[in-house]
Amino acid sequence: MSAESCTFCRIASGEAPAIIVRQGERIIAFRDAHPVAPVHILIVPVRHLASINEVIASDVELLGEMLVLARDVAAREGVDQTGYRIVVNTGREAGQTVHHLHMHFLAGRQMSWPPG
């Protein structure tokens, strides 16, 4: 998919609206348009990567930064002590609908396991 037609590329470039939580050079975080938890934030690399399947060895630092950002989001949202869940849906059976890599940050309610 080209950057022009990718929703998350358009959000990252400022062309499409979103409630931005954090805008960095390499990673952006914004609130999910259809939250499934009281806190539902998407942590997204600015560079277009379709999914974890496209990740290469040189992306290790980027993926680590996404987790560090998740930790910061947890503290800022006040859920670092109560708990949160990080989810990366990959592919059809996992329910990935947006084909630009993203980490769901979910918190603010009791979660169940196994996930649906």
Residues 29-48 that bind Zn ion (CB under 5 A): 48
Q: Is 79 in the site for Zn ion (CB under 5 A)?
A: no
| 102 part of the active site | yes
Asked if 38 and 108 touch (Cβ cutoff 8 Å), the reply is: yes
Structure-token pair, residue 18: 């979103």
Residues 69-88 that bind ligand AMP (CB under 6 A): none
Q: Is the dihedral of CA 105, 78, 66, 28 positive or negative?
A: positive
Given 40, 99, 102, 104, which residue is catalytic?
A: 102
Q: Judged by CB under 5 A, which stretch of 23-31, 36-44, 85-93, 98-106 contacts Zn ion?
A: 98-106
Place of tokens 């560079």: 47
